[in-house]
Amino acid sequence: MAQRWLMTGQNEPLKLEEFDPPVPGADEVLVEIAGCGVCHTDLGYYYDGVRTSHALPLALGHEISGTVIAAGANTGEWLNRPIIVSAVIPCGECDACARGKGTICPHQKMPGNDIQGGFASHITVPARGLCPVDVNRLEAVGLSLADVSVVADAVTTPYQAVVQAGVSPGDLVVVNGVGGVGGYAVQIAAAMGATVVAIDVVPEKLEALTSYGAALTLNAREFDGRALKKEIAGFAEANGLRSTEWIILECSGTAAGQLAAFGLLNHGATLCTVGFTMDKVEVRLSNLMAFHARVLGNWGCPPELYPGALELVMDGRVKISPFVEQHPLSEINEIFQAVHDGKFARRAILVPAAA
Q: pLDDT by residue (tens digit) across 233-275? A: 999 999 999 999 999 999 999 999 999 999 999 999 999 999 9
d(CA 90, CA 87): 10
CATH superfamily of 2-153+301-351: Medium-chain alcohol dehydrogenases, catalytic domain (3.90.180.10)
**For 191-206, what is each residue's pLDDT tens digit?**
999 999 999 999 999 9
- pLDDT tens track for 128-146: 999 999 999 999 999 999 9
CB 112 within 8 A of CB 62: yes
Which ranges of 192-305 would DSSP assign to H, the alpha helix? Answer: 203-209, 225-238, 255-262, 286-291
Our CA dihedral for 155, 157, 160, 165, rounded to 10 degrees, sits at -110
- pLDDT confidence bin for 57, thresholds 50/70/90: very high
pLDDT for the residue 72: 98
Stated pTM of the model: 0.95
The total of other beta-carbon atoms located within 10 Å of residue 91's CB is 16
Length of the chain: 355
Report the pLDDT value the prediction gives residue 173, as an integer from 0 to 100.
98
Q: What is the pLDDT of residues 209-222, one digit of tens each?
A: 999 999 999 999 99
Other beta carbons less than 10 A from residue 165's beta carbon: 22
Determine the distance from the C-alpha atom of residue 171 to the mean position of all C-alpha atoms in its chain, rounded to a whole number.
Answer: 22
Secondary structure element (H or E) that encloses residue 66, with its range: strand 63-71
Element (H, E) at 308: helix 306-314
DSSP strand pairing (82-85 vs 130-132): antiparallel
Q: Does the CA dihedral 168-169-171-176 come out positive or negative?
A: positive
Helix axes 156-165, 181-191, angle to 10 degrees: 50
Across the chain, mean pLDDT equals: 96
Tell me the average pLDDT across 158-179.
97
One-letter amino acid at 137 equals R
Fold of 157-297: Rossmann fold (3.40.50)
Assess whether pLDDT exceeds 80 at residue 355. no
Tell me which amino acid residue 82 is. Answer: P
Distance (Å, rounded) from C-alpha 74 to C-alpha 120?
25
Contact between residue 60 and residue 329 where contact means Cβ atoms under 8 Å apart:
no
**275 close to 199: Cβ distance less than 8 angstroms:** no
b or e along 212-248 (b: 16 or more beta carbons within 10 Å of the residue's beta carbon)? bbbbbbbebeebeeeebbebbbebbeeeebeeebbbb
| β pairing state of 63-71 and 15-19 | unpaired
One-letter identity of residue 37: G
Residue 41 binned pLDDT confidence (cut-offs 50, 70, 90): very high
CA–CA dist 280, 270 (Å, integer): 20
Q: Residue 107 pLDDT > 80, yes or no?
A: yes
21, 23, 267 from 31: Cα distances, Å: 10, 11, 48
Percent with pLDDT over 70 in the chain: 100
Residue 295 phi, psi (nearest 5): -120, 130
Neighbours of 30 (CB within 10 A): 23
Residues 89-94, mean pLDDT to the nearest whole number: 96
Euclidean distance between CA atoms 171 and 19, whole angstroms:
50
- Supply the pLDDT for residue 278: 87
Mean pLDDT for 296-323 is 96
Enumerate the domain spans of the chain. Answer: 2-153+301-351, 157-297
